[in-house]
Amino acid sequence: MLDGAIVARGLHVLGVVLWIGGVAFVTTVLLPAVARMKDPEDRVAFFEEIERAFAWQARGTTLLVGLSGFYLVGIWDLWDRFAQVSYFWMHAMVAVWAVFTVMLFVAEPLFLHRWFLTRSKRDPEGTFRLIQRMHRILLAVSLLTVIAAVAGTHGGFLG
């Protein structure tokens, strides 16, 4: 018999791997390759094209991670952990998920995409550097959260 928690945990980890792995690919492979393009306007346009396709994967995986994560907290009744400092990594997971969810589902469709396009017409070099910086920061915070969450789930921060 298949346990719902086992399925949810598997889907949760799969979602994180695809989502943060995708962010890592964009940040460490795609953006450096795009940076080598000669024409600054082409950089932003090409990146926008690729990012638009990846956005659907990112939206789907963040949705999967959020649903499976909240399901696990609910069925295991882990809500009290959010009141304990030793479970800071749970706050970090929710915070990273919330930032990406707001970016992907609210900010990007409502105004961020237009803002970047408008800014890139004025300053394509600066806009591309900003995109790179934002991705590096989001990736670093995400990876630190993954490390903390794995250590935390294995008792690494329980004193």
Q: Considering the domain boundaries, does residue 95 fall inside one?
A: yes
**Average pLDDT of the chain, as a whole number:** 91
Q: Considering the domain boundaries, does residue 159 fall inside one?
A: no
Q: Encoding tokens for residue 32?
A: 């450096």
Q: Considering the domain boundaries, does residue 70 fall inside one?
A: yes
Q: Considering the domain boundaries, does residue 143 fall inside one?
A: yes
Q: What confidence category does residue 73 fall into, taking pLDDT thresholds of 50, 70 and 90? A: very high
Instruction: Specify the number of domains making up the chain.
Output: 1
pLDDT of residue 26: 92
Backbone angles phi, psi at 76, to 5 degrees: -95, 0
Q: Convert the pLDDT of each residue in 8-51 to its tens digit.
A: 999 999 999 999 999 999 999 999 998 888 887 778 778 888 88
Q: Which pTM does this prediction carry?
A: 0.90
Distance between CA 39 and CA 64 in Å, rounded? 37
Q: Considering the domain boundaries, does residue 158 fall inside one?
A: no
The 8 Å CB, 24+ separation contacts for 33-39 are 34/128, 35/128, 35/132
Q: Considering the domain boundaries, does residue 76 fall inside one?
A: yes
Q: Considering the domain boundaries, does residue 149 fall inside one?
A: yes
Q: Encoding tokens for residue 151?
A: 């250590």
Which domain does 76 fall in, by range? 4-153
